[in-house]
Amino acid sequence: MSLAAAARPVLGVRMMASRSPAAATAGQRAARVPLSARLGACVPSIASISQITGSSSSFSSSSRRQQQQRQHGRQQLSVSARARDPDALDDGGEQTEAANKEPPSLFWRCFAALCYLVPWIDSISLGAVMYAKFRNLLLFYYVPGPLASVYFGSQFAPLIIFFVMFLSIVKNTKLHHFVRFNCMQAIMLDIVVMLFHILRAYLPSELKWSIIGQYADMFGFTCCMATILYAVFWTVRGYYGDIPFVSESVYHQVQLSEYA
């Protein structure tokens, strides 16, 4: 047992001695290899990372370009889908769009303000009580006087004037949008004035000729004339006179008239 135990260390020393030159050379080679080469198999290089980031940035830029192209195409479709005069050429349509971008001239501002004479004429009959109490307000009665005789000359005259204004001005896309808007707003205000007349006509006689009816006429005349003068003031200055609950529907009506 002592000989076998003594032989095992000797054999182990011989085997280590026989393996020691190869292990030494392998250790020297491993020592010569740099650390970056050892980690190159598991850690990606800077060039590969830059390629990945470059491809992702190019993909994002291409997606942005595609989105911009889609938005530009939608804008072109919306512009091309806008209704125009079928007899007009393309150049004429472009000139019309360019003219709408420019501010209206003094002539068109005065023309748009004249459209409010229609609700003005219909509202002067509501101010009988106001004329009796305030003599200075007779000016509002005499301003549209010559046109009032023509307007009330026939029972069909208001209806004819309504269709002429709507068909020849509101639906005419060759005119400036400012003129068409104010003409449509004058028509809407005239409808509001007619509602006051209808309510007054259907009031009981006990209320119509009482102090309540007088105050109702004063309230209707004041509201109508104040709104008309407000719209005329801003129209002559070249601005859109927005009226709550009225101008929004006017915008929609003018826009829908382009497609009808």
72 contacts 248 by C-beta, under 8 angstroms: no
When pLDDT is cut at 50, 70 and 90, the band that residue 255 belongs to is confident
Rg (CA), the chain: 44
- Average confidence (pLDDT) over 100-111: 86
Instruction: Show Cβ contacts of residue 33 under 8 Å, excluding neighbours closer than 6 positions.
Output: none
Of 27-31, 78-82, 108-112, 193-197, which gets the smallest average pLDDT?
Answer: 78-82
- Rounded Cα distance, 104 and 30, in Å: 87
Task: Give how far the C-alpha of residue 88 lies from the chain's centroid of Cα atoms, to the nearest Å.
Answer: 27
When pLDDT is cut at 50, 70 and 90, the band that residue 15 belongs to is very low
When pLDDT is cut at 50, 70 and 90, the band that residue 152 belongs to is confident
Q: How many residues does the chain have?
A: 260
68 vs 81, higher pLDDT? 68
CA-based nearest residue to 180, from 189, 190, 171: 171
The full set of domain ranges for the chain reads 106-257
- Average confidence (pLDDT) over 111-134: 91
Q: What is the pLDDT of residue 97?
A: 59
DSSP type of residue 83: -
Q: What is the pLDDT of residue 39?
A: 44
Q: What is the pLDDT of residue 237?
A: 93
Phi–psi pair at 137, nearest 5 degrees: -75, -5
Mean pLDDT across the chain: 74
- Rounded Cα distance, 240 and 106, in Å: 14
Q: Is the pLDDT of residue 4 over 60?
A: no
Sign of the alpha-carbon dihedral angle for 165, 168, 171, 175: negative
Instruction: Show Cβ contacts of residue 166 under 8 Å, excluding neighbours closer than 6 positions.
Output: 183, 184, 187
Sign of the alpha-carbon dihedral angle for 168, 172, 177, 181: positive
32 vs 240, higher pLDDT? 240
68 contacts 74 by C-beta, under 8 angstroms: no
pLDDT (tens digit, 9 = 90+) per residue, 34-64?
544 454 444 444 445 445 445 555 556 666 7
- Rounded Cα distance, 2 and 65, in Å: 87
Q: What is the pLDDT of residue 74?
A: 58
222 vs 209, higher pLDDT? 222
Of 94-98, 116-120, 230-234, which gets the smallest average pLDDT?
Answer: 94-98
